[in-house]
Chain A
Amino acid sequence: MDGITSNLPDTALVTAELAWIEVGRVSDIPPAGARVVQSPHGDIAIFRTAEDEVFAIRNRCPHLGGPLSEGIVHGARVTCPLHNWVIDLASGGATGPDTGCTGTFPVQVEDGSIRLGLRLPVSAV
């Protein structure tokens, strides 16, 4: 499971091309819930809010790395299951103590199918 999560230097990721990858349908995700996509950037949680908005953020709480995908979703926020930090799904920022480091990823929804925007390093594409 950890095999493909790499520690590529950030610069490599930032300079790489943005690629849109199909990651299933909105209906694959429970309302006010999340599922996880494994990527070279580590696990990415795809959230679906009760209003059917879709967000993608790194599946690691900026506090102590808790799996955000397992948290309770309320509005466009999720509460980390480990220590109740509240993370804004749109910005990835904690509304409790902040860190700018929970990365967010662009998503597009078309006809119910979700596409995730990833900057894949050239070697991984």
Chain B
Amino acid sequence: MGKRKLVVIGNGMAGARAVEEVLARGGADMFDITMFGDERYGNYNRILLSNVLNGSQDPAEIVMNPLDWYAENGITLHSGAPVTDIDRAAKTVRSSAGVHVHYDYLLIATGSRAFIPPVEGMTGPDGKLRNGVFAFRTLDDCDGIIAHAKKSTQAAVIGGGLLGLEAARGLINHGCAVHVIHIGNHLMEQQLDGPAGAMLRASMEAMGVTVHLKKATTAVTHDGEKITGLAFKDGTTLDCDMVVVSAGIRPNAEIGLRAGLTVERAIVVDDKMRSVDDSTVYVVGECAQHRGRVYGLVAPLWDQAKVFAENITGRNRDAAYHGSKLATKLKVMGVEVAAMGITEPVEERDEVVQFTEPKRGTYKKLIVRDGRLVGGILMGDISKAAYLMQAFDRDTPLPEERLSLLFDIGAPAEKVTLDEMPDEAQVCNCNGVTKGAIGACVAGGMKSALAVMKATRGGMGCGSCKGLINELVEFYAGGEVEEDPSIHYYVPGVPLPTDELIDAIKINGLKSVSSVFKVLAGGKEDPGSKPGLAVLLSMIWKSEYEDERDAKFINDRMHGNIQKDGTFSVIPEMPGGVCTPDELKRIADVAVKYNVPLVKLTGGQRIDLVGVPRDDLPGVWRDLGMPAGHAWGKSYRTCKSCIGTDYCRFGLGDSMALATKIENRFRGIDSPGKLKLATAGCPRNCSEAYVKDIGAVAIGDGKWEIYIGGAAGAHIRKGDLLCVVGSHDEALSVMGRFIQYYRETAKWKERTYAYVERVGMAKLKSIVVDDSDGIGARLDRSLQESIDAYVDPWLERDAPATSHQFSSLIPVP
């Protein structure tokens, strides 16, 4: 029998999952599968958009079904255009891009869109959201919000539900002041009651989000171009330059309506997830209405997808969906919350068990009916969530001792609980992974939590179950758990830790990145590992290193930092933040001559010429006549300093002179991570030496404290005191030895703050200061060789490393 045609409208979480379930049941042999997606992407994990917005994940990381997946499974994907019509009589669908296909079976999985309340000014004359007003539903929404937030000073989020709060949290990370406008009496009314909502509000405000309750927005004010603020029903207003609307969702059910299917709040389906009007049309996800309910969370759609797949593949034509009980675990602004069922007692027999400890932000409330859990809120401490959610889901009778519902009193040993947990218990709610699935993976030979997570996607959603997955892997694997070995490698693509990799490179005489892959990684090239290897090889072989420019990140080829428009930033060296009036003039002349769009002081006390096109780089460097400031790569970057003893009333040591010596000695030395240094003339620390990779702080009598492992970027850490030295020369020597040891033992991209914690200060002191291993002289020598081999990369202006290094364009006749 020939294959039947399965067409799927909607390439989101439900659509893609349903297809995966079909494939898992041998569906590839039964169906030709065609998918339509309005969004321009393969299916991604929508839940993780919150992480993309707050900057903790890249869009690429949240992809669940990359293009390859569709190709590998023989699925035809038409993305980037919606399906506009279904012709049920002819059994065809048509997209706005004109694609017209026949189906034997149709699956509608169009999800929902953000609900935009009909508020004056929200949309422009074209009916689209006004510039500066955003929904928060798709990757494109996220991109728009992020781009706008960068310029924004004050943002308003309309809607204080889960998504609105996620949006607020994301916006905070982009540096604007954030206001949440909520029409209800307390935050997250779907999941929380009044007291819990009030506690959440306090936590949010402590983190800098202003919450306005009982506020109905009546207008978005604007000057025709930009948003200027919001107006409310009570007559008050709020100034803001961007608005994120998070006022609920609406199912994308119109397509069903136009096709003549029964649509109430969403497309109505039976227990097989089939439209009640047409036995060849199935519906799953947020656009489906089952037994009167429409869901807005992912857990139900995993079950729906399974039921659909069982039926359509004929595996089990009796498979039926009976509805889901919604329980959620989430983290809002760092506060852990678990919520299930009703939030307030509704019947007289409902019994409430409650505990509050506002000081610690802990709140627990359970609603028990006839000895069974019908509602619950846990905030702050959600250690009992797994147990309670299961009791809620299965309607199991609760113990008479209600206190034990809230707390582990005389808790049974952990093994017993894991043991007792049934195989079908859901461990990861985001991706619908059961305990049994994890067990099966381990039985199939996966012995590390990371491998299991990759295989099942468990733990890849909100991440709150990672701990439990770790425990389960341990539980199943017994003593045989393995941690993911690649965390110990210098780069993930070559299975050796840094020191062993250096030895192997030397023994085998490997002088190019490609030869390292050939000999040490079984010939498998990992693009992400190339730049790290290039740095390591140049450290080992210096001028003998065979430079393969294609292994280098563009910044290391152009000796500048690439900007988002493809131009570069040019930062000349300025040791100690000092330059001569002549140099300053030249910088100004260059900026004028080359029309440099932005001249800006950097955080490292230098001057940045931003926006120089690649083809102008050699001329700019030549006219500046100053050496490269190395502000682009993984290398020694800069050494900030305060004014030191010459002029400062408080100065105890000549920090400017020390900074200059540091820069002259270590300039351009490449290393596994950036090295940002500072010298401070006294412990007032004006130059922030305590939070630098390496910092020197003068304490009087010619003495300097040397700190290492400080950081004040995305990660903040005060450095640890390595030692106290008595002179500039001693400072240079101990710093140099540390730098070389770091170069030889750190992993690629491992900044000193992580490195110092991993290796431990005791070991670093003994090696760097006390030379306990007797390798001090060797380290010093190796570093000296790198210093001697240093050549200012900007000299490539007169001798380009490749013929077209600075001419990106091919002239076309």
For residue B58, CB closer than 8 A to chain A, the reply is yes
Residue pair B809, A72 in contact (C-beta under 8 Å): no
Q: Given A72-B527, A79-B527, A100-B80, verify A50-B550 contact (CB < 8 Å).
A: yes
Q: Please, how many angstroms separate the alpha-carbon atoms of A50 and B518 in the complex?
A: 15
Q: Given A30-B803, A31-B550, A63-B59, verify A37-B66 contact (CB < 8 Å).
A: no
Residue pair B60, A99 in contact (C-beta under 8 Å): no
A73 to chain B, nearest CB (A): 6
8 Å CB contacts to A: which residues of B45-91?
A: 58-60, 62-63, 66-68, 77, 79-80
Stretch at the interface among B36-44, B269-277, B654-662: B36-44
The proximity string for A residues 20-48 relative to B, scoring 1 for CB distances below 8 Å and 0 otherwise, is 01111000111111011111000000100
Tell me which of A1, A72, A101 contacts B80 (CB under 8 A): A101
Closest to A33 in B: B550
The proximity string for B residues 774-813 relative to A, scoring 1 for CB distances below 8 Å and 0 otherwise, is 0000000000000000000000000000111001111111
Residues in B with CB closer than 8 Å to A94 are 41, 66-67
Residue pair B813, A22 in contact (C-beta under 8 Å): yes
Residues in B with CB closer than 8 Å to A50 are 550
Closest to B68 in A: A95
For residue B290, CB closer than 8 A to chain A, the reply is no
For residue B549, CB closer than 8 A to chain A, the reply is yes
Residues in B with CB closer than 8 Å to A38 are 809, 812
For residue B192, CB closer than 8 A to chain A, the reply is no
For residue B553, CB closer than 8 A to chain A, the reply is yes
Residue pair A64, B551 in contact (C-beta under 8 Å): no
Residue pair B40, A99 in contact (C-beta under 8 Å): yes
Q: Please, how many angstroms separate the alpha-carbon atoms of A66 and B562 in the complex?
A: 10
Residue pair A83, B566 in contact (C-beta under 8 Å): no
Residue pair B527, A74 in contact (C-beta under 8 Å): yes
Closest to A72 in B: B527
For residue B143, CB closer than 8 A to chain A, the reply is yes
B812 to chain A, nearest CB (A): 6
Residues in B with CB closer than 8 Å to A97 are 41-42, 44, 59-60, 62-63, 66, 139
Closest to B11 in A: A98
B11 to chain A, nearest CB (A): 10
Tell me which of B44, B550, B565 contacts A32 (CB under 8 A): B550
Residue pair B527, A98 in contact (C-beta under 8 Å): no
Residue pair B58, A83 in contact (C-beta under 8 Å): yes
Residue pair A84, B60 in contact (C-beta under 8 Å): yes
Residues in A with CB closer than 8 Å to B63 are 96-97
Q: Please, how many angstroms separate the alpha-carbon atoms of A46 and B809 in the complex?
A: 10
Tell me which of A21, A29, A62 contacts B804 (CB under 8 A): A29
Tell me which of A29, A63, A93 contacts B67 (CB under 8 A): A93
Residue pair A96, B808 in contact (C-beta under 8 Å): no
Q: Given A33-B549, A64-B143, A83-B59, verify A101-B40 contact (CB < 8 Å).
A: yes
Q: Given A96-B66, A97-B60, verify A46-B564 contact (CB < 8 Å).
A: no
Q: Please, how many angstroms separate the alpha-carbon atoms of A39 and B672 in the complex?
A: 40
Q: Please, how many angstroms separate the alpha-carbon atoms of A23 and B803 in the complex?
A: 17
For residue B525, CB closer than 8 A to chain A, the reply is yes
Residue pair A37, B41 in contact (C-beta under 8 Å): no
Closest to A22 in B: B813
Residue pair A21, B551 in contact (C-beta under 8 Å): no
Residue pair B527, A35 in contact (C-beta under 8 Å): no
Residue pair B808, A35 in contact (C-beta under 8 Å): yes
8 Å CB contacts to A: which residues of B507-559?
A: 525, 527-528, 530-531, 548-555, 558
For residue A103, CB closer than 8 A to chain B, the reply is no
Tell me which of B77, B553, B804 contacts A81 (CB under 8 A): B553
Q: How large is the interface on B (under 10, 10 to 19, 20 to 34, 35 or more residues)?
A: 35 or more
Number of A-B contacts (CB under 8 A): 128
Tell me which of A28, A33, A79, A84 contacts B810 (CB under 8 A): A28
Tell me which of B67, B139, B528, B558 contacts A95 (CB under 8 A): B67
Q: Please, how many angstroms separate the alpha-carbon atoms of A85 and B411 in the complex?
A: 48
Residue pair B42, A98 in contact (C-beta under 8 Å): yes
The proximity string for A residues 77-117 relative to B, scoring 1 for CB distances below 8 Å and 0 otherwise, is 10101111110100101111111110000000000000000
Residue pair A36, B60 in contact (C-beta under 8 Å): no
Q: Please, how many angstroms separate the alpha-carbon atoms of A86 and B60 in the complex?
A: 9
Q: Given A35-B804, A35-B810, A97-B44, verify A72-B59 contact (CB < 8 Å).
A: no
Q: Please, how many angstroms separate the alpha-carbon atoms of A77 and B809 in the complex?
A: 20
Residues in B with CB closer than 8 Å to A23 are 810, 812
Tell me which of B66, B551, B810 contacts A98 (CB under 8 A): B66
Residues in A with CB closer than 8 Å to B41 are 94, 97-99
Instruction: Specify which of B40, B66, B67 lies most central, judged by the most chain A CB atoms within 10 Å of its CB.
Output: B67
Residues in B with CB closer than 8 Å to A95 are 66-68
Tell me which of B79, B554, B803, B804 contacts A70 (CB under 8 A): B554
A56 to chain B, nearest CB (A): 11
Instruction: Specify which of B66, B550, B804 lies most central, judged by the most chain A CB atoms within 10 Å of its CB.
Output: B550
Residue pair A30, B549 in contact (C-beta under 8 Å): yes
Residue pair B809, A35 in contact (C-beta under 8 Å): yes
Tell me which of B525, B558, B803, B809 contacts A36 (CB under 8 A): B809
Tell me which of B59, B809, B813 contacts A96 (CB under 8 A): B59
Closest to A85 in B: B60
Q: Given A30-B802, A82-B562, verify A72-B550 contact (CB < 8 Å).
A: yes
Q: Please, how many angstroms separate the alpha-carbon atoms of A24 and B531 in the complex?
A: 30
For residue A121, CB closer than 8 A to chain B, the reply is no
Q: Please, how many angstroms separate the alpha-carbon atoms of A37 and B613 in the complex?
A: 15
B737 to chain A, nearest CB (A): 33
Residues in B with CB closer than 8 Å to A85 are 59-60
The proximity string for A residues 52-78 relative to B, scoring 1 for CB distances below 8 Å and 0 otherwise, is 000000000011111101111111010
Q: Please, how many angstroms separate the alpha-carbon atoms of A83 and B80 in the complex?
A: 21
Residues in A with CB closer than 8 Å to B813 are 22
Residues in A with CB closer than 8 Å to B551 are 72
Instruction: Specify which of B63, B80, B139, B808 lies most central, judged by the most chain A CB atoms within 10 Å of its CB.
Output: B808
Residue pair B808, A36 in contact (C-beta under 8 Å): yes
B801 to chain A, nearest CB (A): 10
Residues in B with CB closer than 8 Å to A39 are 812
Residues in B with CB closer than 8 Å to A73 are 550
Q: Please, how many angstroms separate the alpha-carbon atoms of A105 and B397 in the complex?
A: 66
Residues in A with CB closer than 8 Å to B562 are 67, 70, 81-82
A62 to chain B, nearest CB (A): 7
A34 to chain B, nearest CB (A): 8
B555 to chain A, nearest CB (A): 8
Residue pair A66, B566 in contact (C-beta under 8 Å): yes
Residues in A with CB closer than 8 Å to B79 are 98-100
Residue pair A71, B554 in contact (C-beta under 8 Å): yes
B460 to chain A, nearest CB (A): 15
Q: Please, how many angstroms separate the alpha-carbon atoms of A66 and B548 in the complex?
A: 23
Residues in A with CB closer than 8 Å to B549 are 30, 33
Q: Please, how many angstroms separate the alpha-carbon atoms of A83 and B564 in the complex?
A: 10
Residues in A with CB closer than 8 Å to B60 are 83-86, 96-97
Residues in B with CB closer than 8 Å to A64 are 143, 564
Q: Please, how many angstroms separate the alpha-carbon atoms of A65 and B558 in the complex?
A: 19
Closest to A21 in B: B812
Q: Given A35-B804, A35-B810, A64-B143, verify A70-B566 contact (CB < 8 Å).
A: yes
Instruction: Specify which of A37, A38, A88, A95 lies most central, judged by the most chain B CB atoms within 10 Å of its CB.
Output: A95
Instruction: Specify which of A33, A38, A73, A98 lies most central, judged by the most chain B CB atoms within 10 Å of its CB.
Output: A98
Residue pair B554, A81 in contact (C-beta under 8 Å): yes
Q: Please, how many angstroms separate the alpha-carbon atoms of A64 and B562 in the complex?
A: 14
For the A-B complex with A29-B804, A70-B614, A74-B530 known, give 17 more contacts whose Cβ atoms are closer than 8 Å. Answer: A28-B810, A31-B550, A33-B550, A36-B808, A37-B809, A39-B812, A62-B40, A63-B59, A65-B565, A66-B566, A72-B550, A74-B525, A83-B58, A86-B60, A97-B139, A98-B66, A98-B67
Interface CB pairs A-B, < 8 A, 5: A62-B40, A74-B527, A75-B525, A81-B554, A97-B66
Contact surface of A with B, Cβ cutoff 8 Å = 1, 21-24, 28-33, 35-39, 46, 50, 62-67, 69-75, 77, 79, 81-86, 88, 91, 93-101
Contact surface of B with A, Cβ cutoff 8 Å = 40-42, 44, 58-60, 62-63, 66-68, 77, 79-80, 139, 143, 525, 527-528, 530-531, 548-555, 558, 562, 564-566, 613-614, 802-804, 807-813
